[in-house]
Structure 1
Amino acid sequence: MEMPIVIVGGGIMGALSAWMLASAQKPVVLLEQGALGQESSWAGGGIVSPLYPWRYSPAVTALAHWSQHFYPALAGQLLKQTGIDPEVHATGLYWLDLEDEALALDWARRLDYPLQQVDIAQARAAVPALAAGFEHALHMPGLASVRNPRLLKALHAALLQLPNVSLRENCVVSGFIIEDGRVAGVQTAQGDLRAEQVVLAAGAWSGELLKTLGLTLPVQPVKGQMILYQCARDFLPAMVLGKGRYAIPRRDGLVLIGSTLEHAGFDKTPTAEALSSLKASAEELLPALAEAEVVGHWAGLRPGSPEGIPFIGELAEFPGLWLNCGHYRNGLVLAPASCELLKNLLLDEAPVIDANPYAPSGRMHEALPS
């Protein structure tokens, strides 16, 4: 009987990797220390783009570009398979009063992205709720968001339908089984579990697990808080981003406002200070939100990494152990390409994009941004 691929971490990276590997007929065991998809992947906003894509390296852009094209088909397949709609919602995005507008436009011209300068009056006509005082706008039509809690719910349901997937929630992994210099499984609170290969996709917790092997992975938790308003369905027709904060509409009238960036270790307690700051930002962008009800306030822990470039590939020091982690602020954006690339490498397929920028070798000791 073929030994499984064991995946540690049930967020978007672990769940989507499991789905892709299982769809390639591999036996998969997915381990999650809590409930599947309830950490950073649940807590994010779901914009299918980095917030300021021109400020990132080509390595991040390559993953984002592939994923943006893949998301509609992924959502359609999951909806067909499970009846749960991940709601890929193509509203477009308006950036307001950017300091590096010229850089953004140059980036878009070079890469043939449909980012364009628009008159502020045009932005106000498209988004009537927009605050006065903004003077400049860039617009990318067709840019989408995904309703990440529903995406994770759909993936969960899809995995439960696959006969070659075993999903183990509330299963804490404490270390790795090493035999003949390679990783041959994991140690869990429920006992040892042997594997053909092990994939570490534990988000902000990935570095903690690698410490058990004496390795230092430059991935650390970066706290982010968000709030959620209930509005009319037509209140916000497009995503908007100004003064470092963004607003994302859902189809049912919910509007997300995010987010904070805090270095607070593994504490993800929502704070009154962040709530006050986010409400102030919301009202600066969309003044009518002062009269709307806040129906949610939460925090999540992003897996911070140098330049936000994820680690994807096998560890040279410990063959049999693969990484798919360190996506920082862009886990949902980069997940489809990251998980497809991991599958390609693990199954010795032709990679969908150049894998070299994400290889762990030579990058394990990069400095984290302060």
Structure 2
Amino acid sequence: MGSVCVVGGGAIGLLSALELARNGQQVCLLERGDTGRESSWAGGGIVSPLYPWRYSSAVTALAHWSQDFYPQLGQRLLAETGIDPEVHETGLYWLDLDDEAEALAWAAREGRPLSSVELDKVHTAVPPLGLGFQRAIYMAGVANVRNPRLTRALREALLRMPNVSLRENCEVRGFVRRDGRVVGVSTPEGEVLVDRVVLAAGAWSGELLRHLGMVLPVEPVKGQMILFKCAADFLPAMVLAKGRYAIPRRDGHILVGSTLEHAGFDKTPTGDALESLKASAFELLPQLEDAELVGHWAGLRPGSPEGIPFIGPVPGADGLWLNCGHYRNGLVLAPASCRLLTDLMLDRKPIIDPAPYAPVGRLG
């Protein structure tokens, strides 16, 4: 049994730890705060890139595998932990797209169920939708996952495994190297020595890799969200227009997001963003003006070139592996990313071609 230290307790770190532990590894997961409280908690949880046709085939391959896998992941976590991640299949409507033709061509090429829909049919299917839209396309089968519950379920699953130790409020401050190999990490409580280390620290991954004199092009990109409370049957499908979306949870909560801001590691919610998000919400769903606004928050996405994550061993740092840089699609891509990482670490046949995600040639 090999030993692995996973650095970072978001969805990617938690699921990496779970995959490795289920495959016989002794796993220690370190999180500098509470697990699942950064980007994984702050996001919307749509199990699709917002505009999948605008991404490279590398992102598409991870997304398709994960979308197919999510229902069974949700069911297994519920059975094991009693916590339901609520993989909620609603479908998704895109309204007034500038690149609608490209979207439909992509769907035909990829075999995805995306098609044009007449507006009167959209209003029948989604009665609260605003009247100011001209065109719509719809993809059936798109789900959303209730991300705070997903990370809680992953955490609980790990706590129940005898070959896992979970240490929260434990900040990794550097790596331990011996004879050119990474053999652990340093923390305020001492060194944690293992066979291999997985860096899955989201927007903070680049800061940590600097300790090895390497430049990882992952940077924080702030996103702000708001939350309304409505009747459970208020919004039957997800809707997206002008870069903003509304996501229904099963209990009637409606998430509206999100902004894209380059503000370093500042997570302060702002009044300007609140007004902008409310305006988008009321344009999409006018009845939200009368709904209770119950939350407004910000998180930091791990921005990366083209949104393509880094998954694989770090060249020049034997023993160190990456699973980070998922940008806007961490929750979407997590199941495939973590399975691919596990395949590579255990020298199994990978679920998809690992080459596009390899750190080699992509670090400074």
- Indicate if the aligned counterparts of 1:3 and 1:194 stay in contact, CA closer than 8 A: no
SS at match of 1:208: helix
Letter in 2 for 1:341: L
Letter in 2 for 1:318: A
Letter in 2 for 1:135: Q
- Offset at residue 280 of structure 1 (A): 0.5
For 2:143 and 2:312, how far apart are their aligned partners in 1?
28
Could you tell me which residue of structure 2 aligns to residue 256 of structure 1?
255
Could you tell me which residue of structure 1 aligns to residue 34 of structure 2?
35
For 1:185 and 1:175, how far apart are their aligned partners in 2?
9
In structure 2, the gaps of 5 or more residues are none
- Offset at residue 3 of structure 1 (A): 5.5
Alpha-carbon deviations, 1:50-78, whole Å to 9, x = none?
00000000000000000000000000000
For 1:120 and 1:183, how far apart are their aligned partners in 2?
57
Could you tell me which residue of structure 2 aligns to residue 166 of structure 1?
165
Could you tell me which residue of structure 2 aligns to residue 179 of structure 1?
178
Identity of aligned residues (%): 68
- Offset at residue 142 of structure 1 (A): 1.2
- Offset at residue 172 of structure 1 (A): 0.4
After superposition, residues 1-370 of structure 1 pair within 5 angstroms as 4-365=3-364
- Indicate if the aligned counterparts of 2:2 and 2:25 stay in contact, CA closer than 8 A: no
For 1:330 and 1:43, how far apart are their aligned partners in 2?
12
Letter in 2 for 1:8: V
For 1:244 and 1:26, how far apart are their aligned partners in 2?
41
For 1:17 and 1:63, how far apart are their aligned partners in 2?
15
Deviating runs (4+, > 3 A) in structure 1? Answer: none
Letter in 2 for 1:235: F
- Indicate if the aligned counterparts of 1:120 and 1:135 stay in contact, CA closer than 8 A: yes
SS at match of 1:37: coil
- Indicate if the aligned counterparts of 1:20 and 1:340 stay in contact, CA closer than 8 A: yes
- Indicate if the aligned counterparts of 2:202 and 2:324 stay in contact, CA closer than 8 A: yes
Alpha-carbon deviations, 1:123-162, whole Å to 9, x = none?
1110010001201000001110000000001011111100
Could you tell me which residue of structure 2 aligns to residue 368 of structure 1?
none
For 2:250 and 2:26, how far apart are their aligned partners in 1?
36
- Indicate if the aligned counterparts of 2:221 and 2:303 stay in contact, CA closer than 8 A: yes
For 1:142 and 1:334, how far apart are their aligned partners in 2?
17
- Offset at residue 25 of structure 1 (A): 1.3
Alpha-carbon deviations, 1:185-215, whole Å to 9, x = none?
0001110110110000000000000001000
For 1:338 and 1:198, how far apart are their aligned partners in 2?
16
- Offset at residue 180 of structure 1 (A): 1.0
- Offset at residue 316 of structure 1 (A): 1.3
- Offset at residue 364 of structure 1 (A): 1.4
For 2:185 and 2:81, how far apart are their aligned partners in 1?
30
SS at match of 2:173: strand
- Indicate if the aligned counterparts of 1:222 and 1:261 stay in contact, CA closer than 8 A: yes
Task: Return the TM-score normalized by structure 2.
Answer: 0.99
May I ask how many residue pairs the two structures share in their alignment? 364
RMSD after superposition: 0.6
- Indicate if the aligned counterparts of 1:75 and 1:86 stay in contact, CA closer than 8 A: yes
SS at match of 1:225: strand
In structure 1, the gaps of 5 or more residues are 366-370
